[in-house]
Amino acid sequence: MHIADYRVTKAILDRHGFSFKKSLGQNFLTDTNILQKIVDTAAIDREVNVIEIGPGIGALTEFIAENAAEVMAFEIDDRLIPILADTLRDFDNVTIINEDILKADLKTHIAQFKNPTLPIKIVANLPYYITTPILMHLIESKIPFSEFIVMMQKEVADRISAEPNTKAYGSLSIAVQYYMTAQVAFIVPKTVFVPAPNVDSAILKMTRRASPLVAVTDEDFFFKVSKLAFAHRRKTLWNNLQAVFGKTEEVRAQLTNSLEVAEISPQIRGEALSIPEFAKLSEALLPLK
Ligand code: SAM
């Protein structure tokens, strides 16, 4: 029997008198097939260290610990710490850290892995209220992890992995795909959680690129340009650019020139531009920075 077997989960929750906090995104997994699929998708073995975010009562942690070298799991809710000490007592390769993942000093913590030279993967069933901040915080941190295999709302997974010319494509697709490849591995129905969330979920697998997808002079400006191109999705690129940079003769002349240099039509919409095209555009717009 596993922690995630519905009857075991129920007994743990009852024994500890645990009540869910919606504000912390607490939806626990109660399907061992899905957990096995997550671990298989992440290709976890004894040569991999894992960082987990939000272990809950340990449903996913147990599956990771059975396969990985070591797991370090960050849980914000103090009430879960004694429960995890109980449910995971048989494992000597699990460390629970009672901290907010957004505030933890990850560099210092990961130096504590018994074998810090092993590759690190991040595996989690994320709290949905802060999915994007957690993703961006970890991707932009200097933590040397190779893969990120996480459960999130299906709609967010679709946006992150979206291709140009689709409704889901936007600045979040670009912010993540700049650093990582991203693919939806499989869909998870809401019925496998207690309590059930309002939406379906997906497992997204992201792999860090050896270097960012495109080379840009100024990363912040590149991300700014990719955001502003989607500020009003129905407006043309030209109108979105003017709304930010201004409408004076001088600015218009510079914009015209920059778009010509980047070989991009002003009448196009942001969603039609690939990431390499956004890179060309932001380079050509540098004089307006
Ligand atoms: N991993 C468990 C599972 O799959 O059943 C629980 C997943 S539940 C969706 C999200 C977990 O993240 C909860 O245990 C919640 O308390 C925790 N959490 C929420 N915000 C957090 C934060 N900022 N840092 C660390 N953990 C957090």
Helices (H) then strands (E): counts for the chain:
12, 9
Largest CA distance in the chain: 72
Of the ranges 28-37, 138-147, 155-164, 217-226, which one carries the lowest mean pLDDT score?
Answer: 138-147
Model pLDDT, residue 84: 98
Distance 98 CA to ligand 1 centre (A): 11
Distance 126 CA to ligand 1 centre (A): 6
Model pLDDT, residue 14: 97
Cα–Cα distance measured from residue 94 to residue 150, given in angstroms and rounded to the nearest whole number: 19
Check if the beta carbon of residue 148 is closer than 8 Å to that of residue 135: yes
With a pLDDT cut of 70, the percent of the chain lying above it is: 100
The SS3 call for residue 274 is coil
Cα–Cα distance measured from residue 243 to residue 232, given in angstroms and rounded to the nearest whole number: 10
pLDDT digits (tens, 9 = 90+) for 49-65: 999 999 999 999 999 99
Query: Does residue 74 carry a pLDDT above 90?
Result: yes
- Residue among 45, 48, 44, 105 nearest 74 (CA): 105
Ligand 1, atom 8, lies closest to the CA of: 26
Check if the beta carbon of residue 189 is closer than 8 Å to that of residue 167: no
Check if the beta carbon of residue 139 is closer than 8 Å to that of residue 180: yes
Which residues have CB under 6 Å of ligand 1?
A: 24-29, 53-56, 59-60, 74-77, 80, 100-102, 125, 127, 130
Residues in the chain: 289
Q: Which of 2, 8, 28 to mutate for ligand 1's pocket (most ligand atoms within 8 Å of CB)?
A: 28
Task: Read off the DSSP letter of residue 167.
Answer: T
Distance 30 CA to ligand 1 centre (A): 14
Mean pLDDT of 91-97: 98
- Residue among 42, 58, 54 nearest 94 (CA): 58
pLDDT digits (tens, 9 = 90+) for 166-196: 999 999 999 999 999 999 999 999 999 999 9
The SS3 call for residue 97 is strand
Cα–Cα distance measured from residue 161 to residue 281, given in angstroms and rounded to the nearest whole number: 22
Q: Which of 16, 26, 156 to mutate for ligand 1's pocket (most ligand atoms within 8 Å of CB)?
A: 26
Check if the beta carbon of residue 226 is closer than 8 Å to that of residue 171: yes
Model pLDDT, residue 142: 83
Model pLDDT, residue 172: 96
Query: Pairing state of beta strands 201-208 and 180-188?
Result: antiparallel
Q: Which of 23, 125, 138 to mutate for ligand 1's pocket (most ligand atoms within 8 Å of CB)?
A: 125
Model pLDDT, residue 132: 96
Q: How many CB atoms lie within 10 A of CB 99?
A: 14
pLDDT digits (tens, 9 = 90+) for 115-167: 999 999 999 999 999 999 999 999 989 899 999 999 999 999 999 999 999 99
Question: Residues annotated in the binding site for S-adenosyl-L-methionine, as ranges?
Answer: 27, 29, 54, 75, 100, 125
Distance 26 CA to ligand 1 centre (A): 6
More confident residue, 289 or 34: 34
What phi, psi does 82 have (nearest 5°)?
-65, -30
Mean pLDDT of 3-29: 97
